[in-house]
Structures are given as structure tokens and as C-alpha cells.
Amino acid sequence: MLVALAAADKPLPVPLLLRSDIHHVHDDGAHSMDFEVDNGISFQLSGSQGEEGGANMFGTYKMMNAEGELVDVKFVDNEFGFQPESSLLPVAPAFPHPIPQFVLDQIAFAEQQKLTQSQESSE
């Protein structure tokens, strides 16, 4: 009885109304999708067949965060993986100090040695 009373106190979720749900698929593998509900949540996607057989896609989606604010996420999904962009995602800090010139010189010297060795081995 107590469980039934506790469950009755919770308000029922408000159903969302679908504003749009559009899908396009083409014979060449290109595709797009647009989806939106009345609370502002939306998803847009466009894609095409990738050179290596996978799909290349880009798009955006909007969703509600825990505070009830609408947030945007842009993304690219291709042979390099899923790459989202959003103000929600952390950003790596800038390198804390400049790289000293002697380190840059050593890197350049090592690259030159590698190039010279590869040229000598191909002869």
C-alpha cells in the first residue's frame, strides 16, 4: 500500500509532440535525417558513403541538460572517429610554456637524419 501511494505522488511525464521526422536515403549512399520534438530537442544529420566503405557524417543535436537548459552539440563522424564540439566538453589547456629552441633544433635534426637514412637505404 505504501508503494502505491508513493508512486501516485509522482507527476506523470508530459508527452512530447513530434514536430518533424524526415529521412532521405539516396542510391549513392548519401542520406540525411531531421528530427525535432516540441521541447526543443532536435537532431540533424547528413552523410555520404566514405572512400573506405564507411559512412562520413556531420550534424548537430540539441538536448536538455540537467538544469533544463538547451545545449548544442556539433559533430563529424568519419574515418577519424566521432568528433563532437560543444561548450559542454572540456578543452585541453594551452601548453604551459614555449618549447625551447634547442628542443626544436633537436627534433629538426632527428627528422633530417631519418630522411637521410631512408634515402641511403633506398639506393
- In the chain, where the domains are located: 15-92
What pLDDT score was predicted for residue 27? Answer: 86
pLDDT at 90 over 80: yes
Short-list 40, 48, 42, 35, CA closest to 76 = 48
pLDDT at 3 over 70: no
pLDDT at 94 over 70: yes
DSSP 3: H
Is residue 50 within 8 A of residue 28, CB to CB? The reply is no
Mean pLDDT for 107-122 is 90
Q: Residues 6 or more apart from 18 whose CB is under 8 A from it?
A: 35, 36, 37, 38
pLDDT at 113 over 90: yes
Q: Cα 110 to the chain's mean position, in Å?
A: 35
More confident residue, 114 or 94: 114
Query: What is the residue type of 3?
Result: V
What pLDDT score was predicted for residue 58? Answer: 94
Cell of 39: 521541447
pLDDT at 6 over 80: no
In this prediction, residue 33 has a pLDDT band, given cuts at 50, 70 and 90, of very high
